[in-house]
Structure 1
Amino acid sequence: MLTIPRAIHDDLIAHARADFPVEACGMLGGVDGAVSAIFRMANTDQSNEHFMMDPKEQFAVVKELRNRGLGMLAIYHSHPESPARPSEEDIRLALTPGVSCVIVSLAGAEPDVKAFRIADGVVEPEPIEIVE
């Protein structure tokens, strides 16, 4: 389970809306499933169907996580026009063991945020608890 503070949950949605119609992306950091940091990143592909993070930016975020004593808990991205479920590409590119996939969908009347664990092509929903 991921525990996400309301402010970070709201920031995920704000990032997705700000980058619309391009997929927003970034990382969530924390300890033992408790998210305490969000790192917005640029989608270098500038696409509404997939995302790519700059390796230099990724390295800088991983270094910052380490410096703050945090681990990478999730990689997040938005689906501007499709539901909050992993695409075939999301499943194929989920190569970081133990890291959740958080998807923010803007396809419905209200944003939908869901988390998944993906390992060896198998997708498992992961509960999210929003805390104040």
Structure 2
Amino acid sequence: MLTIDRETHDAIVAHARRDHPDEACGVVAGPIGSDRPERFIPMLNAAMSPTFYEFDSGDLLKLYREMDDNDEEPVVIYHSHTSTEAYPSRTDVALAAEPGAHYVLVSTRDGAHEEGAPIDFRSFRIVDGEVTEEEVRVVERYTTGSTPDEKAEV
């Protein structure tokens, strides 16, 4: 299950809407081993395409160095689909290189890119080419401990 705070969830959705009709992409980093997405990092889609996303290699290298320096890892890797459902494509599956990450997809099709429209926000684990959808729990905030505050669930 992906547990994500409301602010980060809303930032991912806003990024997907802002970049529509091109796919948006980014990472949410968190402390190594915590499975807690904390630091939202919107990235530039170097492909600038409505059907494909690609992280800029220089930006990605810089991000991984930052995460290494901060004892972080990519907890969420997200992107949007602009004309299809929020489900990993064959290309998404083939490029999934972080078996511990939650792969979040947001669909902005059928007017979902408009502010206030319902949005399809889904999370998947992709390991060795196998896709498994998981529940998404949105909380208002995390507690100061190492686990999300499930009592703050919305």
- Structure 2: give runs of 5+ residues left out of the alignment: 111-116, 141-154
Supply the distance in 2 between the matched residues of 1:16 and 1:118 (Cα, whole angstroms). Answer: 21
Question: Aligned pairs, how many?
Answer: 132
Given the two structures, how large is their TM-score scaled by the length of structure 1? Answer: 0.92
Could you tell me how far 1:27 is from its partner in structure 2? 0.6
Contact conserved, 2:99 with 2:125, CA < 8 A, in 1? no
Given the two structures, how large is their TM-score scaled by the length of structure 2? Answer: 0.80
Q: Secondary structure at the match of 1:65?
A: helix
* Rg larger for: 2
Supply the distance in 2 between the matched residues of 1:66 and 1:113 (Cα, whole angstroms). Answer: 28
Supply the distance in 1 between the matched residues of 2:72 and 2:95 (Cα, whole angstroms). Answer: 23
- Structure 1: give runs of 5+ residues left out of the alignment: none
**Alignment map for 1:1-132 (pairs within 5 Å):** 1-31=1-31, 32-108=34-110, 109-132=117-140
Once the two structures are superposed, residues 7-31 of structure 1 have per-residue CA deviations (whole angstroms, 9 ceiling, x without a partner) of: 1100001000110000000111113
Identity of aligned residues (%): 38
Moved over 6 A (4+): none
Supply the distance in 2 between the matched residues of 1:42 and 1:127 (Cα, whole angstroms). Answer: 27
Could you tell me how far 1:120 is from its partner in structure 2? 1.6
Could you tell me how far 1:100 is from its partner in structure 2? 2.0
Q: Over aligned residues, Cα RMSD in angstroms?
A: 1.3
